[in-house]
Amino acid sequence: MKPTMPPRSTPAARTRPISMSYLRAFDAVARHLNFRIAAEDLALTQSAVSRQIQALEHEVGAALFQRHTRSVELTAAGRLMQLATHLSLERVDATVRQIRQNTGRKSVSITTWASFASMWLIPRLEAFQREHPDIDIRIDASDAFVDLHSADVDLALRSAEPHSGLAQGERLFGEQLTLVASPWLLKTQPIHTLADLMACTWIESSDLQSAQHLQWLSWQRWLETYAAPTTSAQTGLPSPARWLYFNYTHQVVQAALTGQGVALARLPLVAESLASGNLVEVLPQTRLSSPLAYWLLRAPHSDARPEVRAFCDWLRMQAAQTREAIGDVADPDTVDGQD
């Protein structure tokens, strides 16, 4: 009786990292499908490139190229490897270029939401750049929450209610809401009464129900405050001739600037347009107070850098001008939770 042979075990999968030089060689051969041209591209000998490809195939455990007498083509495994390798090497090279360009340069990175960036921050940035030409500014305009303890961000500019409990912030200015329209619209549709207003198009953000604090910005709240006392329970609140909806605050204001209707705007964000006459405050006696305020948050790992401190000082001066323009008398040194 022949002895039973033990079953052949499957070789253990290789787990050590692949050498970057192997991947560079593979990427060059995969792009050119030619060992000689790839070697010239890498400033290596053709035999050196061939050895690196063989070593890579050994590490991967599969043939990556089919070698013919006068040509080379990728195998199925090679095509998969090329997709991953080319993209990864491009990202590495781009990152290295960025690091080389930024070495020795001072920069400040800010996260804020898109409407605040376009309507308040960006129009003022020229003044800071003029005063500090050696400091680069990077703005990430997103509504997403950013953890300043771990993210590659120096500052956050956010709008929230006091004591929202998300982080410690420095209050820049408060907020009121007011009706605004283009002076060109008011030439053809003067608005002196609620009835005049009802004949106009009302512009509003379409995502006011997505977050509880955004409901403070709605026309519904304005109607409940100023139109309800003039209406009966039977007739209900009035409605305008038509509605025009947009996703973002800056789109709402842009539509008002071009004469497409009346917008209920955040006063700090339109103060410059009102001062320049590009927008006119409609029924100014009907402003609405808002519990929201605008806050500056500093990342702990960035707080001591001189360029970050310089930008914060500049922000405080800009905020003081906005407080004066909107009549905000709240203490700017108030510290409350938010992000």
Over residues 189-200, the pLDDT tens digits come to: 999 998 999 999
Residue of 246 and 149 predicted with greater confidence: 246
- Cα separation, 270 vs 252, in Å, equals 11
- pLDDT of amino acid 102: 63
- Cα separation, 254 vs 289, in Å, equals 22
Count how many Cα atoms sit within 13 Å of the Cα of residue 277 in the half-sphere of its side chain.
1
- Cα separation, 186 vs 199, in Å, equals 12
- Cα separation, 336 vs 169, in Å, equals 6
Residues 225, 226, 227: CA angle, nearest 5 degrees? 110
- Cα separation, 275 vs 106, in Å, equals 34
- pLDDT of amino acid 338: 41
Neighbours of 90 (CB within 10 A): 11
Please, what's the largest Cα pairwise distance for the chain?
110
CB 206 within 8 A of CB 245: yes
DSSP for 165-191, please give it: -S-EEEEEEEEEEEEEE-HHHHHHS--
Closest CA to 112 of 138, 146, 136, 142: 142
Residue of 10 and 25 predicted with greater confidence: 25
Alpha carbon dihedral 48, 54, 59, 62, in 10-degree steps, equals 150
The mean per-residue pLDDT over the stretch 161-175 comes to 78
Look up residue 44 and give its two tokens. Answer: 């290596």
Domains of the chain: 20-102 (1.10.10.10), 106-173+293-337 (3.40.190.10), 175-290 (3.40.190.10)
- pLDDT of amino acid 332: 44
DSSP for 11-64, please give it: PPPP-SPPPHHHHHHHHHHHHHS-HHHHHHHHTS-HHHHHHHHHHHHHHHTS--
- pLDDT of amino acid 339: 37
Q: Provide the residue type at 208 as one letter.
A: L
Tokens 């409407």 sit on residue = 115
Choice among 110-119, 123-132, 194-203, 205-214 with the minimum mean pLDDT: 205-214
pLDDT higher than 50, residue 10: no
- pLDDT of amino acid 307: 94
The mean per-residue pLDDT over the stretch 24-45 comes to 92
CB 297 within 8 A of CB 149: no
Choice among 49-63, 111-125, 141-155 with the minimum mean pLDDT: 141-155
Alpha carbon dihedral 57, 58, 62, 65, in 10-degree steps, equals 30
Tokens 């790992």 sit on residue = 301
Q: Quick one: three-class SS letters along 268-306?
A: HHHHHHHHHCCCEEECHHHCEEEEEEEEEEECCCCCCCH
259 pLDDT band, cuts 50/70/90, is very high
Contacts of 279 (CB under 8 A, 6+ apart): 180, 181, 182, 183, 253, 256, 257, 265, 270, 273
pLDDT higher than 90, residue 125: yes
CB 180 within 8 A of CB 265: yes
162 pLDDT band, cuts 50/70/90, is confident
- Cα separation, 269 vs 247, in Å, equals 16
- pLDDT of amino acid 3: 52
Query: Please, what is the average pLDDT of the chain?
Result: 85
Q: Provide the residue type at 114 as one letter.
A: A
